[in-house]
Amino acid sequence: MKYRTDYRQLLDPKIISKIARLDLRARYIVEGFLIGLHRSPYHGFSVEFSEHRPYMPGDEISRIDWKVYGKTDRYFIKQYEEETNLKSYIIVDCSKSMEYSSGGISKFQYAITLASAIAYLLFDQKDAVGIVLYSDKIHKIIEPRSSKINLFEIYKSFINSNTEGKTETAECLGQVAEKIKKRGLIVVISDFLDDIEKIDSAMRKFRFKQNEVISFQILDEQEVNFGFNKDAIFRDLESQEELLTQPFQIKSSYNELVNQFLLSLKKKLLNHQIDHNLVFTSESFDKALLAFLKKRKRLH
């Protein structure tokens, strides 16, 4: 793969999903993302994120990294390990609704690929990273550690997982919140197709325990745009209920309800200082990774 000449290919879900090994997918995505950062207005942002923070009045001059100054003309302080280490959980929804795809990759495949790339970034920063897979129950928990063995256990769990069960966001995330004793960073990746009040209640528990939270709502564009032109039978992936309808008759009402749902969810989460990001499965991974990088940088 000629990613040195076209880093954008590494961020394209359709292209990168052809790589069977999830560890390689994660590494290529992160490499492509970082190459893009160096070629964009965010040049230098990844340097700040990595092992440094800007020099502040009162810092010891002896801690200035002069090599970084030579490259950037800016003063950065090399951080000690205790300043950079973070305990993180990446929580991924594996309910049946995540199986949906209108032609590209499924929401679940996008979710575990994004989660793997975020885990790679965290591991690269020597942060302790763990995962949770849930639907109507918690299927898998890997506790946060900063070892390479743990990272490969995470990849293995993702690649061996399947979509199953209904979504029980409040119950499952509530259980996870109770298990977390030391505050850290919580990353939730889901389509969030659940009752808004339940989602709000579950996410609020993380904030109550003083965790920093960022969420990624993974949707297929077809779910929002409802771009169906012919009579069709729509089947609920979780309940298997079916509805025969003419899409043009309900498109307007559907769009209105979906947009109302998305805006209401974002507003509620923002009220708890939770960074909420809507991501479509057709979008390159840099949008989500940049949002994550900004969040992680603010925790320094």
What pLDDT digit, counting tens, does each position of 99-144 carry?
Answer: 988 888 999 999 999 999 999 999 888 889 999 999 999 999 999 9
Within-domain flag for 284? yes
- Rounded Cα gap, residues 86 and 250, in angstroms: 47
- Rounded Cα gap, residues 92 and 134, in angstroms: 7
Q: Are residues 98 and 136 in the same domain?
A: yes
Q: Are residues 69 and 120 in the same domain?
A: no
User: Concatenated DSSP letters for 161-224?
Assistant: ----S---HHHHHHHHHHH--S--EEEEEE---S-HHHHHHHHHHHHHTT-EEEEEEEE-HHHH
Q: Are residues 131 and 213 in the same domain?
A: yes
Q: Are residues 72 and 89 in the same domain?
A: no
Tokens coding 290: 């940049």
Whole-model pTM: value is: 0.81
Range of the domain at 77: 7-82
Count CB-CB contacts under 10 A for residue 31. 15
Q: Are residues 141 and 46 in the same domain?
A: no
Within-domain flag for 289? yes
- Please write the tens of the pLDDT for every residue from 208-260: 888 999 999 999 998 888 666 665 566 665 666 766 666 666 677 778 889 99
Segment holding 33, helix H or strand E: helix 22-38
Q: Are residues 71 and 92 in the same domain?
A: no
Q: Are residues 161 and 286 in the same domain?
A: yes
Percent of the chain exceeding pLDDT 70 equals 77
Q: Are residues 101 and 222 in the same domain?
A: yes
Among the candidates 82, 111, 137, a domain finishes at 82
> Nearest to residue 214, comparing CAs of 57, 88, 120?
88
In DSSP terms, 188 is beta-bridged to 91, 215
Q: Are residues 75 and 117 in the same domain?
A: no
Among the candidates 82, 112, 131, a domain finishes at 82
pLDDT score at 181: 80
Number of domains in the chain: 2
User: Would you say 188 and 131 are in contact if contact means Cβ atoms under 8 Å apart?
Assistant: no
Among the candidates 63, 82, 101, a domain finishes at 82
Within-domain flag for 136? yes
Segment holding 96, helix H or strand E: none
Q: Are residues 52 and 191 in the same domain?
A: no
CATH number of residue 244's parent domain: 3.40.50.410
